[in-house]
């Protein structure tokens, strides 16, 4: 299971995605990315759920996620034995930066 965190533009949603074309994503990666952007944050989502919702194979999902990670639009961090935190970014806010900000917020909440 993966807990989803994301940082997306709140106003003029698609204006923030103008730079998405420069990544040259395949159709499968774009479909997965846009699907993840539409999911509610701070909830658990399994690959099985995403596969069923998008009607794709596990292999296709894995390839799409790999492509998104390579472009820093998706970042995953292990937080437990079988659990992960999945971070979604966008062209002006890479997923690695979303993860960094989330980790700082979590540390501040603990301290």
CATH topology assigned to domain 2-110: Arc Repressor Mutant, subunit A (1.10.10)
Write down the pLDDT at residue 1: 65
Predicted pLDDT at 68: 96
**Helices marked H in 39-57 — which ranges?**
47-54
Give me the helices (H) in the chain, please: 27-38, 47-54, 58-70, 95-110
> 15-38: per-residue pLDDT in tens?
556 677 788 899 999 999 999 988
User: For 52-68, what is the mean pLDDT?
Assistant: 97
Distance CA 64, CA 12 (A): 26
Backbone angles phi, psi at 55, to 5 degrees: 65, 45
* In the chain, where the domains are located: 2-110
Whether the pTM exceeds 0.75: the reply is yes
Q: Residue 97 pLDDT > 60, yes or no?
A: yes
**pLDDT over 70 for what percent of the chain?**
81
* Residues 10-39: b if buried by 16+ CB within 10 A, e if exposed: eeeeeebbeebeebebeebbbbbbeebeee
């Amino acid at each position: 299971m993966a807990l989803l965190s994301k940082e997306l533009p709140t106003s003029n949603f698609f204006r923030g995605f103008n730079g998405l074309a420069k990544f040259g994503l395949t159709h499968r990666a774009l479909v997965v990315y846009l699907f993840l952007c539409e999911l509610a944050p701070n909830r658990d989502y399994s690959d099985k759920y995403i596969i069923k919702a998008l009607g794709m194979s596990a292999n296709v999902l894995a390839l799409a996620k790999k492509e998104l990670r390579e472009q820093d639009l998706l970042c995953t961090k292990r937080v437990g034995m079988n659990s992960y935190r999945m971070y979604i970014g966008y062209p002006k806010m890479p997923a690695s930066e979303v993860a960094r900000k989330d980790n700082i917020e979590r540390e501040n909440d603990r301290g």
